[in-house]
Chains A and B, each alone.
Chain A
């Protein structure tokens, strides 16, 4: 366009000159005359550009070109600004891609927005699984749902004799698959009749992965047999790739009514007809015009009818309808949003720094701007120019930030301890790119506001006379104050958040778990099914422990049916003799664990009163229990617990009374953040057990526990090759994993806090240096009038610290508000910890002093004579 214009005007001059030559004027002279006649060429061009109208794209390109030139001319400024923005935008993009994958991605089922979970509720709030007959009643009576389905999930052993492997199995009603919108890729899903008569149709569906892995993608798979817990099922279908059921881990499915085939030992509980077995999970699909509240209301009516008909089984029970999505995002929302907020804080600080850089540079460019204004550039044009520059800066920053998050994302996901749903894969996709772009654009606008606001007040004459320095200085100082205060506040919030998490972590790791975790390993196994009928099953675990205890390098071994820090035992209703009936909510805080002899000795848990179980406490002797200290303290405060009696179920149940024979010390068994005092334990004897499916072998080793894992597993399988052994770990690994969540949030938040602190220090240093430069003359005058150099040092540092002090106050208040959201991640740390707040504030002020010190030194070294001549 420019070139065309130039060509056109040149042509005019040439043509005019040629005419003059024809009239007898010498060529040189003709050209000169033509130019004179034409008048100011540049002015004409400028007028032409204006006349052409403001073609948006063209002037934008022009602005961008000019901006690029300005940025290239100041490589230092550009590098610092781009790097700062890259850190801020990169952190946000990386966290956002995780947020998007986990929180914003719809569930991989048909119309996930209409999918709800229907649970029974205990005490009006706590969700509880559902009794199957209740589900059947709900399904026939409710009119708010298009369809309802029930399912259960558990582990099974596939192929007992050869290639035994553990897998997760869902028992589902025939409505389950249509409800989720899933159909088989080979064969079909369950037919209604296959889920009507119990134990009639032994059919199974297998997952795509299992089909590929175990059956080599056999196209003739239909009609073949799969052995699940030693029971033969006929395969009638293969489900699509990636489908793992609602439990997100299942690989094999059987009809709900075939459940007893997997667990004949529990058949006597009659899962399908007993309203007291609250075991099943229920899914439903809302009719399109029904709201969640409508559904809840109708279900409450139905639940009330059922409770009236069966009052005993439905005591304290209601119903709760919740969006299915909640199941998948609940645990992730707070931590991810906390991290996102932290990343936004970092970006805000980065923005403030770059804005300050732009502003100080704006002051340097005062004369340039004034000249351009004087030459007739419109203010709108200047604003556009600033926008173009900050746009270029932030886009470069966003580009670098995306590169950062591209490399950092895998690291981030591996550092995050959460097991995200299988369908949530964090990656940089279009949505994330769009987010980065929007974020960068918003940043650019924010950045452009500062120099624009500053130039809007411009008095051209003053700037040209260079007197305007002091006036921009004032505006700059105002912004600088806001910047110091704001950055200090934001950094402090992050530092306190990270501090609380790290302090929780140290508590978690240092706290006494109630047992000796060193030299301790756990190996989980299934009791092989057919070979050990009747009494043999009960003795299997304890006998295995006895044999393993003889193994070289083993100090002692014991069996328990819990899986330490993964599964803490059963909750079952109980009655304490002479004590008022215990509510469901209260009995849910008590865990029932079955253990073999030597358990307390192996774990290193002290037996405080009475005696430990022995091999004599068997099926032939009377039933006995042990309890934890907290149990004894809760139900028999100030009394001797040994000799007291309790029974399972309500007072009038037919269960026998059992006597307490001993009290053991409190331990943590569910998680490190557990308060053992509020979750008491009843210990039953494995040798007197009714139901044993799988259990763990706890082994205390003499040598390094980690090198014993392999040999122990081999020894177990040498004793009985049919034992599937899994979940093998040392206790320190288990406890490390258990604290992983707190550790990695602490680590990430700490990282953000460090980043924020660094950026804030750089920002404060920038502001203070600029002030000192601005006030060189003032310093000179002060010195001339007798101020000592130390006074100047104090003046500069004092100003910085005073402002930072305001920031600290604001930050502390902010932290109070924000850390409340983190309460669930804290352990033995309150959201408000005065000592920690003070410590972080002091550390922060220390950094501020340091950031002010270097510019303050410069102020101190001012030579009065030079300073007075300055400007």
Chain B
């Protein structure tokens, strides 16, 4: 796909959890990683990233601490908590089931109804 896709409602949280599950990241790093693993096919509103991070932290799925960035600057790093790991798992399963169902519906032909 050439054009970047807007993010589906509610999926940003899951993507963030997935991104930090691969290793601690600062906010900008989360953005970069999602873009990297989606091969730049997803557009993320940078402004909406941080409220999502704060919400996830408040819910206890990710934790943060200040550390040093690649270029020796102070940055806030997020990592997945145990609760976050479980959350990511259930969210992923839910998403996959949903995707299957939706895909199934979309593939339905007239004669099958």
B-binding residues in A (CB < 8 A): 4-5, 7-9, 11-12, 14-16, 18, 37-41, 43-44, 47-48, 50-53
Contact = CB atoms under 8 A, between A and B. Distances in A.
Interface stretch (B40-48, B82-90, B102-110): B40-48
A496 B59 CA distance: 62
B52 A11 contact: no
Pick from B28, B52, B75 the residue with the most CB of A within 10 Å: B28
Nearest to A18: B71
Interface of B: 26-28, 31, 45-48, 50-55, 57-58, 69, 71, 73-76
A51 B54 contact: yes
A425 B28 CA distance: 67
A37 B73 CA distance: 21
A48 B46 contact: no
Pick from B26, B27, B50 the residue with the most CB of A within 10 Å: B50
B39 to A, nearest CB: 17
Contact of A7 (B28, B46, B47, B74): B74
Given A15-B28, A16-B28, A52 B76 contact: no
Nearest to B26: A11
A631 to B, nearest CB: 89
7 nearest CB pairs, A to B? A39-B47, A47-B51, A51-B55, A51-B54, A53-B58, A44-B47, A51-B51
Nearest to B56: A51
B19 to A, nearest CB: 15
Given A9-B27, A9-B50, A37-B46, 6 more contacts: A7-B74, A41-B47, A43-B47, A44-B48, A47-B47, A52-B58
A71 to B, nearest CB: 31
Contact of A50 (B28, B51, B57, B71): B51
A498 to B, nearest CB: 59
Given A11-B69, A12-B46, A53-B58, A4 B52 contact: no
A39 B54 contact: no
A11 B74 contact: yes
Contacts of B76: 4, 7-8, 11
B46 A15 contact: no
Nearest to A34: B46
A35 to B, nearest CB: 10
A8 to B, nearest CB: 5
16 contacts: A7-B74, A8-B50, A8-B76, A11-B76, A15-B26, A15-B73, A16-B46, A38-B47, A39-B46, A39-B47, A47-B47, A50-B51, A51-B52, A51-B55, A51-B58, A53-B58
A11 B75 CA distance: 7
Contacts of B48: 39, 44, 47
Pick from A4, A9, A38, A51 the residue with the most CB of B within 10 Å: A51
Nearest to A9: B50
Contacts of A44: 47-48, 50-51
A12 B28 contact: yes
Contacts of A11: 26-28, 69, 73-76
Nearest to A41: B47
Nearest to A37: B46
A399 B54 CA distance: 39
A48 B51 contact: yes
A15 to B, nearest CB: 4
A9 B52 CA distance: 13
Contacts of A51: 51-55, 58
B54 A48 contact: yes
Contacts of B75: 8, 11, 15
Pick from B54, B55, B74 the residue with the most CB of A within 10 Å: B54
